[in-house]
């Protein structure tokens, strides 16, 4: 029975041991990488881990940051939101990392946010999100709604589209995006009856939810596609989709089967990038639109070098668990990449790794010429960047059809468009 | 498997002494060391989380180990308890949320300007505490009543519990429910006027959790030794016999099912403020399965085993997700397989195993020695 106690304590020692794992060297700076390497989000998030390790190697080869080599501390959030909070605590309180690059889903960000605020840490968040947030402890390299959704609407309007169908997965990002889009469309003179997907009103008749929503993992899109087909009968309709992950497969299958095409009624998806086509059949989506602040097909020397360097790094890396074949680059990856360089620039300007000083440097407006063109930091912790609209090709790449330059990242959009 | 109930008074006394020592370490020693700075806030926080899971494991063991009811949906009651307490914690944020409004952020985001009526009473801590018990308890009562009255048993019962938690998770994922949707509740600030950013508050929550674990353990141990407990174990070993002996097994099972739900709910209620988030992901099917694995690894039907299993597996997970972020699933999975194959009694059976092995080693030297030496033919002659 005594052994029970010792094994109980032993288990605790394991947890303690985690903090003693790696020795601290004076000429390195610890940087946290907090992504899901297992679970449902792993397919997207491991790519961000890979690009971060690549970026660290690239910076270390050129002498590091302030003369210190970056020492990555990689942890697995395992698509488990409470575990994200625990790992964030570990990175900040035990490993004492100077900065963390991480999170994909909004819920993981919401889960770690109190931890970063309490410890005055700094988190770089690279994935398109709903806004309505402006923490002093998060650097949002992510696309705000006005860097993805509203430019897509502008593009459609210029193309002569008059009817807009809103469709999404039922969680905070699609719900918020669609409410912003509703206001934006109305401000552009689109009539309420030409906005599809339905509305939900509160007791006073105010619209509190716009668009059609399906749960995660939904597979039956027959009825919804039939509704879209009816909606699109006039020939001047389009779909704005914030469907997430796997649900895109049955949706586009049904969409193609019903005879709808990119010509009769195009769909713009905000959650499908080049990386998602590693798991999605691109053939069913040919001609459909994507909208991001980077596409691999951007034809500039900087981007070509970036893509080639990443492929070369993949070939020679010895980090276990990295997939080497069929890899692509996409917007969340590039926003992770530019995030590291912007952090480096902020640290060098501040002359210190201190979070308050780094934040002040960020707010002063730093620029970096990344693979997607120039990005500039803003006082509201977001980024000014270029926005591209692309048409899906059969090989899972995008043909760029429209570019918006230097779009200011604006997190607070509700009630802005009148 | 029925070791605990058949134990001699002497063994029982030893067991209680050990439990008392563990209890003192958990409730007094660890917090004191933390207050002195010898144990970091982070480590104590982890222990608090592990002990919440231990409560969930105890509830699974009470059902599975002692009554033979394999519930694959126990995390539902845990999460419901967490949600009920979470509603109080959300109200305590006040106007410190992202939107600086007097109602929770997610309601602002959904376009609400006033608090929905069913949220109103949750500003009271005592009301929330009552609901922590009432909601999971009532659900367990209704579900248990329907399931046991229809004599749903064995694998069918397990599948139903799994379906129940799955259905509940889909319901809670919906924003329409006004319970925070996919994001659930997070960004808590205060509990009973104390800031959750203060180490002292977290220490208090940890102590409350440790006390809850010890009380739950003692209660279940006591219950298993009463006449009720014996019937309960008889149901596990041969329900039809018990039924034909004139016991209404349904009432026994229903009582245990509700008690187990309440223990899990307390775990969840303590979990929410310590971990800082509660969301529907916690009631997805795999969470309940995980709890069953903790019990199996620790030792089913032993009460101490589930606590040991919950704490050690989660500690291993905490460590491995940092030390081997790519391999931790393989490590954990491999461990489960090894335990099932070579240690069917779980971790708690290690001392008995070692004792048996030691006994063998002490007795056996004569044999190999005799076989090897040339005295054997001599002895064979005589």
A200-237 pLDDT, tens digit each: 887 788 888 899 999 877 889 999 999 999 999 999 99
Q: Which residue has the higher pLDDT, A170 or A184?
A: A184
Which residues sit opposite A241 in a β-bridge?
Answer: A167, A269
Co-location of A156 and A261 in the same domain:
yes
Report CB contact under 8 Å: B316, A90: no
d(CA A327, CA A397): 12
Determine, yes or no, domain membership for A275: no
pTM: 0.90
Report CB contact under 8 Å: A18, B347: no
Q: What is the number of structural domains in chain A?
A: 2
Determine, yes or no, domain membership for A290: no
Give which of A41, A42, A86 to mutate to test B binding, by max B Cβ within 10 Å: A86
Weakly modelled stretches of chain B, pLDDT under 70: 1-7, 364-382
d(CA A21, CA A40): 28
CA distance A309 to chain B (A): 24
**Nearest neighbour of A206 by CB, restricted to B15, B46, B111:** B111
Report CB contact under 8 Å: A8, B319: no
Tell me the per-residue pLDDT of A235-247, one tens digit each, with 9 for 90 and over. Answer: 999 999 999 877 8
Report CB contact under 8 Å: B322, A21: yes
Give which of B16, B31, B111, B311 to mutate to test A binding, by max A Cβ within 10 Å: B111
Co-location of A321 and A258 in the same domain:
no
For residues A10-23, give the mean pLDDT: 43
Residue A13 has pLDDT above 50, yes or no: no
Determine, yes or no, domain membership for A20: no
Q: Torsions phi, psi of A389, nearest 5?
A: -115, 130
Cβ neighbours of B106 in A, within 8 Å: 172
Element (H, E) at A308: helix A301-316
- Inter-chain contacts counted by CB atoms under 8 A, chains A and B: 172
Co-location of A242 and A311 in the same domain:
no
CA distance B110 to chain A (A): 6
Closest residue in A to B39 (Cα–Cα)? A16
Determine, yes or no, domain membership for A320: yes
pLDDT of residue B363: 81
Co-location of A46 and A78 in the same domain:
yes
Residue A24 has pLDDT above 70, yes or no: no
Cβ neighbours of B350 in A, within 8 Å: 3, 7
Cβ neighbours of B40 in A, within 8 Å: 19, 93-94
Residue A279 has pLDDT above 90, yes or no: no
Cβ neighbours of A215 in B, within 8 Å: 170, 173-174
Give which of B42, B90, B286, B302 to mutate to test A binding, by max A Cβ within 10 Å: B42
pLDDT bin (cut points 50, 70, 90) of residue A1 is very low
DSSP annotation of B343: -
Report CB contact under 8 Å: A176, B109: yes
Tell me the per-residue pLDDT of A380-418, one tens digit each, with 9 for 90 and over. Answer: 999 999 999 999 999 999 999 999 999 999 999 988 887
Contact A56, A97 (CB under 8 A): no
Residue A16 has pLDDT above 70, yes or no: no
Contact B238, B81 (CB under 8 A): no
Co-location of A37 and A122 in the same domain:
yes
**Nearest neighbour of B14 by CB, restricted to A1, A94, A134:** A1
Co-location of A154 and A127 in the same domain:
no
Co-location of A31 and A134 in the same domain:
yes
DSSP annotation of B29: I
CA distance A199 to chain B (A): 12
Residue with token string 């276990």: A320
Q: Is A281 exposed, middle or buried (0-12, 13-18, 19+ CB in 10 A)?
A: middle
Q: Is B296 exposed, middle or buried (0-12, 13-18, 19+ CB in 10 A)?
A: buried
- CB contact set of B104 (below 8 Å; sequence gap of 6+): B90, B91, B93, B97, B119, B180, B185
Tokens of A411: 């997190």
**Nearest neighbour of B308 by CB, restricted to A8, A21, A85:** A8
Residue A7 has pLDDT above 90, yes or no: no
Interchain contact A415–B (C-beta under 8 A): no
Tell me the per-residue pLDDT of A137-177, one tens digit each, with 9 for 90 and over. Answer: 999 999 999 999 999 999 999 999 999 999 999 888 998 89
Determine, yes or no, domain membership for A291: no
CA atoms within 13 A on the CB side of B339: 23
What distance separates the 2 farthest-apart alpha carbons in chain B? Answer: 100
Co-location of A55 and A114 in the same domain:
yes
CA distance A100 to chain B (A): 14
Co-location of A259 and A368 in the same domain:
no
Contact B177, B279 (CB under 8 A): no
Contact A250, A169 (CB under 8 A): no
Cβ neighbours of A17 in B, within 8 Å: 319
Tell me the per-residue pLDDT of A39-94, one tens digit each, with 9 for 90 and over. Answer: 888 888 999 999 999 999 999 999 999 999 999 999 999 999 999 999 999 999 99
Report CB contact under 8 Å: A76, B328: yes
Report CB contact under 8 Å: B175, A85: no
Determine, yes or no, domain membership for A154: yes
**Nearest neighbour of A82 by CB, restricted to B99, B275, B323:** B275
Alpha-carbon separation of residue B101 from A171, A209, B330 (angstroms): 21, 19, 46
Closest residue in B to A32 (Cα–Cα)? B322
Co-location of A198 and A235 in the same domain:
yes
pLDDT of residue B367: 53
Co-location of A32 and A118 in the same domain:
yes
Determine, yes or no, domain membership for A185: yes
The three-state secondary structure class of A409 is coil
- For position A366, which CATH number holds? 3.40.50.2300
Co-location of A101 and A46 in the same domain:
yes
Interchain contact A71–B (C-beta under 8 A): no
If you compute the radius of gyration of chain B from its CA atoms, what whole number of angstroms results? Answer: 24
**Nearest neighbour of B318 by CB, restricted to A15, A176, A206:** A15
DSSP annotation of A379: T
Closest residue in A to B47 (Cα–Cα)? A12
Cβ neighbours of B37 in A, within 8 Å: none
Give which of A5, A11, A180, A317 to mutate to test B binding, by max B Cβ within 10 Å: A11
Report CB contact under 8 Å: A85, B276: yes
Percent pLDDT > 90 in chain A is: 81
Interchain contact A118–B (C-beta under 8 A): yes
The three-state secondary structure class of A262 is coil
- Give the domain range for residue A242: 149-269
d(CA B127, CA B180): 20
Report CB contact under 8 Å: B322, A38: no
Determine, yes or no, domain membership for A333: yes
């Amino acid at each position: 029975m005594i052994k029970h106690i010792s094994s109980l304590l032993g288990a605790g020692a394991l947890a303690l041991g985690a903090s003693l794992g790696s020795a601290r060297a004076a000429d390195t700076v610890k940087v946290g990488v907090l992504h899901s390497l297992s679970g449902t989000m792993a397919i997207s998030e491991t790519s961000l881990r890979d690009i971060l390790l690549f970026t660290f190697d690239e910076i270390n080869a050129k002498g590091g940051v302030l003369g210190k080599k970056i020492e990555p501390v990689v942890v697995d959030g395992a698509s488990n939101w409470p575990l994200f909070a625990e790992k964030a605590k570990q990175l900040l309180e035990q490993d004492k990392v100077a900065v963390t690059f991480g999170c994909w889903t909004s819920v993981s960000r919401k889960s770690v946010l109190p931890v970063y605020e309490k410890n005055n840490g700094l988190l770089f968040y690279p994935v398109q999100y709903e806004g309505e947030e402006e923490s002093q402890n998060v650097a949002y390299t992510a696309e705000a709604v006005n860097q993805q959704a509203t430019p897509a609407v502008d593009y459609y309007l210029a193309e002569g589209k008059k009817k807009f169908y809103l469709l999404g997965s039922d969680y905070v990002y699609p719900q918020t995006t669609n409410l912003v889009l509703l206001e934006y469309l109305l401000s552009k003179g689109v009539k309420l009856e030409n906005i599809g997907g339905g509305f939900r009103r509160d007791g006073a008749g105010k619209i509190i939810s716009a668009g059609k929503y399906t749960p995660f993992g939904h597979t039956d899109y027959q009825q919804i596609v039939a509704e879209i087909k009816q909606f699109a009968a006039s020939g001047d309709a389009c779909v704005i989709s914030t469907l997430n992950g796997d649900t895109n497969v049955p949706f586009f299958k049904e969409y193609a089967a019903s005879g709808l095409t990119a010509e009769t009624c195009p769909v713009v998806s905000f959650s499908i990038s080049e990386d998602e086509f590693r798991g999605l059949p691109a053939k069913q989506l040919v001609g459909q639109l994507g909208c991001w602040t980077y596409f691999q097909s951007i034809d500039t020397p900087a981007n070509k070098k970036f893509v080639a360097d990443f492929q070369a790094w993949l070939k020679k890396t010895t980090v276990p668990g990295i997939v080497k074949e069929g890899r692509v680059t996409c917007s969340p990856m590039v926003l992770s990449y530019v995030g590291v360089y912007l952090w480096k620039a902020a640290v060098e300007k501040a002359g210190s790794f201190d979070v308050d000083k780094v934040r002040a440097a960020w707010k002063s407006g730093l620029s970096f010429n990344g693979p997607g063109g120039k990005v500039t930091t803003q006082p509201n912790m977001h980024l000014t960047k270029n926005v591209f609209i692309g048409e899906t090709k059969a090989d899972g790449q995008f043909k760029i059809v429209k570019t918006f330059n230097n779009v200011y990242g604006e997190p607070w959009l509700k009630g802005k468009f009148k | 498997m029925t070791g605990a109930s058949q134990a001699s008074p002497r063994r029982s006394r030893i067991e209680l002494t050990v439990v008392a020592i563990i209890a003192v370490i958990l409730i007094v020693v660890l917090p004191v060391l933390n207050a002195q700075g010898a144990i970091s806030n982070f480590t104590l926080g982890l222990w608090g989380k592990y002990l919440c899971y231990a409560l969930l494991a105890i509830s699974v063991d009470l059902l599975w180990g002692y009554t033979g009811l394999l519930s694959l949906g126990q995390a539902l009651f845990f999460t419901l308890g967490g949600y009920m307490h979470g509603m109080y914690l959300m109200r305590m944020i006040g106007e410190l949320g992202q939107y600086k409004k007097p109602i929770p952020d997610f309601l602002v985001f959904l376009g609400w300007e006033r608090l929905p009526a069913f949220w109103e009473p949750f500003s009271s801590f005592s009301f929330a505490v009552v609901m922590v018990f009432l909601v999971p308890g009532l659900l367990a009562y209704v579900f248990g009543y329907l399931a046991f009255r229809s004599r749903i048993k064995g694998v069918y019962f397990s599948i139903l519990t799994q379906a129940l938690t799955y259905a509940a998770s889909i319901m809670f994922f919906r924003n329409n429910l006004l319970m925070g949707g996919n994001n659930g509740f997070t960004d808590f600030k205060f509990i009973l006027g104390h800031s959750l950013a203060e180490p002292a508050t977290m220490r208090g929550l940890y102590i409350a959790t440790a006390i809850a674990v010890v009380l739950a353990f003692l209660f279940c141990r006591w219950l298993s030794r009463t006449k009720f407990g014996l019937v309960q174990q008889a149901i596990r070993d041969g329900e039809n016999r018990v039924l034909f002996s004139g016991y209404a097994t349904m009432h026994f099972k229903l009582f245990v099912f509700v008690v187990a739900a309440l223990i899990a709910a307390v775990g969840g209620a303590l979990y929410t403020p310590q971990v800082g988030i509660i969301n529907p992901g916690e009631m997805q099917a795999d969470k309940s399965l995980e709890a069953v694995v903790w019990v199996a690894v620790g030792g089913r039907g032993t009460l101490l085993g589930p606590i040991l299993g919950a704490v050690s597996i989660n500690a291993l997970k905490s460590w491995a997700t940092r030390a081997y972020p790519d391999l931790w699933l393989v490590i954990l999975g491999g461990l489960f397989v090894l335990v099932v194959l070579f240690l069917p009694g779980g971790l708690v059976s290690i001392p008995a195993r070692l004792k048996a092995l030691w006994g063998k080693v002490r007795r056996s030297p004569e044999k190999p020695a005799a076989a090897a030496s040339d005295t054997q033919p001599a002895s064979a002659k005589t």
